């Protein structure tokens, strides 16, 4: 067909080729669409690393970018432990793991239950992990679990009384790594250990003023008379909303990641070797994930209809989950990060500077760390109280059910006895 068209154009002129000019006019537009898609798709990871035998803990690995990371690392032979809120016998989880094992030809894919909305669940798993002698092998932690409450739903809290965005995006990671840090520090000195935080550029819109200003006020003399705050002494925190809660949680996560790297670096190993743990913040960019879809739709059916109608637009300007995973894979495999210091930000497979330089402020890092420790303690106490209350209610229900069952058996027994005596009386009267 192509040879015939070329021969016709050669013999009869270019004008004889059917639909030539419409095609020529459409080519620039097609090239423009391709360029837009290419630009928004981001950069692919070119680094390689032998992942065979390496143990990787992953949160948020059952969907979106996290799933793409798990599939790629599993293909390269890594041993993956999925940390998920699902019960281990959940049909979805069982089928999901079977699919990954078959697709990647890697059977070293397992799961452990750890609900990021529950500090008690996190403590249960992390304590079980570190309560092992000798220490378990641990090469990498990938923290992809993430949530963004739709504005239509308003602010939501966990059963332990913590705002949902703050809990899942930040406090859960703080609590998890605080408990698991001994397992990280116990790894042999020749092991390249990395902790990858899933970050987002929205951290630039967050603020920690409610934490830092509160800590500053607590540090003042309690007997001092309160003075009227000057304009340059205090700034009003941003009005709390789902969007601000998400941005603030990401800012706190960024600040904590930098502080956590310093915490690991200052640790003096008993064997005298230098620290071998690198903390890397990764911004995957905006991707077509379930979380992004939930935010765009506002968690409503009308929003979902609008999303479906405008899907071609989102397909163009949002990355696929596989492309969103590329910066994570770069952070996991790039060889230079085994030699350089951690606490860096990676975006589009390239190391970037922090736009918010206050995340490097050691004073704010300390305030956030102390505030988070106190918050975890208070939330765990509330959670323990709620669990004790629920346990007591369950025991009361069981006792009531048992009492009702005993009463029912007693009535049946009395009824049988009365019926038997009635038969005896009728026989005597006969």
Please return the burial class of 177, using the count of CB atoms within 10 Å of its CB with bins 0-12, 13-18 and 19+. Answer: buried
The whole-angstrom separation of Cα 379 and Cα 175 is 11
Query: 272-294 as b/e, with b when 16 or more CB fall inside 10 Å?
Result: eeebbbbbbbbbbbbbbbebbbb
The whole-angstrom separation of Cα 289 and Cα 68 is 11
Residues 6+ apart with CB under 8 A from 207: 237, 238, 244, 248, 251
DSSP 241-275: -HHHHHHHHHHHHHHHHHHHHHHHHT---TT-PPP
The whole-angstrom separation of Cα 167 and Cα 115 is 11
DSSP label at 18?
Answer: T
Name 193's bridge partners.
277
> 64: closest CA among 347, 307, 292?
292
First to last CA, the chain: 111
**250 in catalytic set:** yes
Instruction: List the structure tokens of 175.
Output: 């609590």
Place of tokens 């009005």: 239
The whole-angstrom separation of Cα 304 and Cα 295 is 10
Catalytic residue among 76, 250, 278, 319: 250
E strands of 322-416, at which residues? Answer: 344-347, 350-352
Peptide bond into 134 cis (omega under 30): yes
The whole-angstrom separation of Cα 55 and Cα 68 is 17
Please, what sign has the CA dihedral across residues 58, 60, 61, 64?
negative
Which residues are known to be catalytic? 250
């Amino acid at each position: 067909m192509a040879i015939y068209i070329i021969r016709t154009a050669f013999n009869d002129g270019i004008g004889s080729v059917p639909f030539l000019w419409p095609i020529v006019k459409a080519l620039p537009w097609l090239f423009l669409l391709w360029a837009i898609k290419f630009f928004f798709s981001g950069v692919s990871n070119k680094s390689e690393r032998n992942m065979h035998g390496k143990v990787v803990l992953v949160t948020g690995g059952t969907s979106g970018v996290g799933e793409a990371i798990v599939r790629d690392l599993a293909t390269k032979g890594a041993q993956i432990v999925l940390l998920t809120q699902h019960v281990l016998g959940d049909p979805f989880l069982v089928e999901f793991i079977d699919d990954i094992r078959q697709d990647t030809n890697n059977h070293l894919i397992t799961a452990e239950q750890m609900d990021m909305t529950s500090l008690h669940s996190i403590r249960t798993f992390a304590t079980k992990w570190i309560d092992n002698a000798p220490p378990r092998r641990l090469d990498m932690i990938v923290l992809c679990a993430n949530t963004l409450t739709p504005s239509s739903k308003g602010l939501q809290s966990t059963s332990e009384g913590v705002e949902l965005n703050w809990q899942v995006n930040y406090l859960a990671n703080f609590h998890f790594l605080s408990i698991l840090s001994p397992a990280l520090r116990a790894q042999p000195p020749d092991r390249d250990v990395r902790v990858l935080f899933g970050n987002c550029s929205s951290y630039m819109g967050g603020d920690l003023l409610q934490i830092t200003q509160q800590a500053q006020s607590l540090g003042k003399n309690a007997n001092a008379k309160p003075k009227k705050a000057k304009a340059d002494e205090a700034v009003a925190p941003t009005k709390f909303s789902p969007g601000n809660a998400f941005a603030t949680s990401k800012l706190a996560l960024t600040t904590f990641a930098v502080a956590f790297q310093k915490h690991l670096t200052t640790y003096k190993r008993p064997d005298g070797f230098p620290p071998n743990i690198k903390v890397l913040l990764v911004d995957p960019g905006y991707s077509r994930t379930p979380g992004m879809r939930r935010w765009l739709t506002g968690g409503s059916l009308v929003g979902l209809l609008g999303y479906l109608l405008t899907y071609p637009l989102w397909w163009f300007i949002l990355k696929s989950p596989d492309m969103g995973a590329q910066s994570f894979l770069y952070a996991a495999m790039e060889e230079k990060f085994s030699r350089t210091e951690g606490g860096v930000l990676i975006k589009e497979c390239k190391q970037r500077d922090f736009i918010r330089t206050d995340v490097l402020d050691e004073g704010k890092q300390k305030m956030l760390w102390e505030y988070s420790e106190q918050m975890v303690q208070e939330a765990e106490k509330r959670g323990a109280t709620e669990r004790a209350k629920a346990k007591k209610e369950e025991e009361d229900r069981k006792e009531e059910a048992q009492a009702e069952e005993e009463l029912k058996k007693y009535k049946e027994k009395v009824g049988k006895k009365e019926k038997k005596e009635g038969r005896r009386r009728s026989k005597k009267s006969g």
